[in-house]
Structure 1
Amino acid sequence: MLSASIAIQNNIVFVWLWSGFLMILNASSEPLVVNIANKGGDVLQETFDANVTDDTIKLSFKQFDGTSINHLIDFPTAMQGFHLLLPPTTNKGQMNKQEFCFIVPLGSEEYISSDAISKLRQKNPHTVRRPEEELPPQSFYMQATFSSVSVSHAFPLCRRTLVQTFFLIPEESLAARNTTLPTKFEGIPACDIALGLSGQPCVCSYNLCIVWYPCGLKFCQTTQPNGEIVSYRCGIKTCKKCRQFLFVAQNRLDCPPEFYV
């Protein structure tokens, strides 16, 4: 029994996937807007914009606290960037918006390709979706210094003047010391307990969850009249993944309350 159906209209090939998505095989890219439900049943909207020429994907959404998230996947550099725009919190003394960027390596099979994303459409755009699988969370120890201009160039939102940009501390430097904790983090308190130490460094942390994204393609097989077995795309696998970004703030006031460990 087939899990997908194929139709041709005006020279455009449509493939209806069993997961409720439409894959347009030879049409130009349009942003994919998806309604997502979290564990509590609250619904947010994610927008996927694929650039096949640059081989990038941008995922944008706004969290319930008003924080705007832009997640850029850059396949040529095998890197991914997370841009956060925090709204002012006047009741906590922060009058201006704050921007942060976290740039970390891209896993070899974390996302489906920009080409595959560009061809996805929904059979019912009003459907509220939930991930099929929740992946293990990851923690990243970050630092503000990095030498690769090419990597930062791939993330234009992270090059703006007022953005605080952080890069992953190389794993080999941790392995050489047989530890998972970078030297600059040792003995430093978390910012939420450093209330009386406003002039001293503290560990700032931010937990970010991508509630739903296409993390893989599903393939089915069919047998042709001549007996040949043919594989074809028949669905997408969807995942949720949470990440924790940790960095040392020089002062507790440099760590937004949303970033307290």
Structure 2
Amino acid sequence: MRFYIRIHFNFLFFCFQEVQVLKSLILGEEERGQSQYQVMCFIFHFPKDSFISSDAMAKLRQKNPSTIRTPEDDLGRTNHTMDYVVVLKHSGIISPHIADMCAEAGMATYTVHEDVVKWAAVQDIPIESYKPALKRFPTRSFLSNDVAESTLANCSDIKNMWTPCECHLELCIGWYPCGLKYCKGKGQTKNSVMSYRCGIKTCKMCHLFAYYVSQKQQCLWDE
């Protein structure tokens, strides 16, 4: 089966919130009855210590932009089980950029319960303040404040194209600036060593998302 994923990704850091958004566009499979594309947004926590300052980014210059880049560090894969659909008109409490960036995604904008807890702590507001912005999946049952279980079958395990299921989608960012690079040089005295900023470190990172779809037809690649 052929499917194509075009990924737009942005690192968002606003009002001391730690928010990362991955936006994906997947072209339809015409031979399987899909004439249009799908757009999804995945919103999750972005560690503060991974943030690169704007002044450092402004100095980044990429020579030979057509060259295939090899990342210095492979950060592996992070799994995310999405618990909520984000209601775009109320998404400003998470980030003011989400409504515009994810406008095409509509009800296919997702986030994770444990990350909502982290954002509430960063903002020092009750987690209940996020309630208007979140719609829980009908098959997600919370056992405690931060643990949830799914009563939904994996899309790969069912045959009926119109049955709800849990879809899986892996998105990989093959090369991106992920931190500052420091080099060592001679210090002011004969035997001393000093560290200085000498560039920007690059990384590779993959994310595997598990999320609810109302019908397997929306998840044909998960087979």
Query: So what's the TM-score if we normalise by structure 1?
Result: 0.62
For residues 241 and 151 of structure 1, what CA distance do their matches in structure 2 show?
23
Indicate how the Cα distance of structure 1 residues 212 and 174 shifts in structure 2: closer, same or farther if over 3 A, else same: farther
Amino acid in the other structure paired with 2:108? Q
For residues 112 and 103 of structure 1, what CA distance do their matches in structure 2 show?
19
Amino acid in the other structure paired with 2:198? C
Amino acid in the other structure paired with 2:112? L
The correspondence for 1:168, drawn from 112, 125, 146, is: 112
The reply on whether 1:242 has 2:180 as its aligned counterpart is no
Indicate how the Cα distance of structure 1 residues 161 and 105 shifts in structure 2: closer, same or farther if over 3 A, else same: closer
Identify the residue that residue 8 of structure 2 maps to in structure 1.
Answer: 70
Identify the residue that residue 170 of structure 2 maps to in structure 1.
Answer: 207
Per-residue deviation, 1:166: 0.8
Q: Which SS does the other structure have where 1:129 is aligned?
A: coil
5 Å-filtered alignment, 1:100-179, equals 100-142=40-82, 143-145=84-86, 148-155=91-98, 156-160=100-104, 162=106, 164-170=108-114, 176=144
Name structure 1 gaps, 5 residues minimum. 1-63
For residues 242 and 129 of structure 1, what CA distance do their matches in structure 2 show?
16
Amino acid in the other structure paired with 1:191? C
For residues 136 and 225 of structure 1, what CA distance do their matches in structure 2 show?
39
Instruction: Compare relative contact order (CA 8 Å, sep 6+) and give the higher one, 1 or 2.
Output: 2
For residues 132 and 88 of structure 1, what CA distance do their matches in structure 2 show?
34
Greater Rg, structure 1 or structure 2? 1
Per-residue deviation, 1:218: 1.5
Q: Which SS does the other structure have where 1:112 is aligned?
A: coil
For residues 188 and 110 of structure 2, what CA distance do their matches in structure 1 show?
56
Indicate how the Cα distance of structure 1 residues 234 and 241 shifts in structure 2: closer, same or farther if over 3 A, else same: same
Per-residue deviation, 1:126: 4.5
For residues 230 and 130 of structure 1, what CA distance do their matches in structure 2 show?
28
Name structure 2 gaps, 5 residues minimum. 118-140
Query: So what's the TM-score if we normalise by structure 2?
Result: 0.71
CA contact under 8 A between 1:109 and 1:215: conserved in structure 2? no
For residues 64 and 188 of structure 2, what CA distance do their matches in structure 1 show?
33
Q: Which SS does the other structure have where 1:137 is aligned?
A: strand
For residues 4 and 78 of structure 2, what CA distance do their matches in structure 1 show?
24
Indicate how the Cα distance of structure 1 residues 109 and 84 shifts in structure 2: closer, same or farther if over 3 A, else same: same
> Structure 1 residues 151-160 or 244-253, which shifts more?
151-160
RMSD: 3.0
Identify the residue that residue 252 of structure 1 maps to in structure 2.
Answer: 216
Per-residue deviation, 1:75: 1.5
Number of equivalent positions: 191
Per-residue deviation, 1:129: 1.5
For residues 126 and 200 of structure 1, what CA distance do their matches in structure 2 show?
43
Residue identity over aligned pairs, in percent, reads: 31
CA contact under 8 A between 2:181 and 2:197: conserved in structure 1? yes
- Name the structure with the higher helix share: 2
- Name the structure with the higher strand share: 1
For residues 73 and 86 of structure 1, what CA distance do their matches in structure 2 show?
21
CA contact under 8 A between 2:179 and 2:200: conserved in structure 1? yes
Q: Which SS does the other structure have where 2:102 is aligned?
A: helix
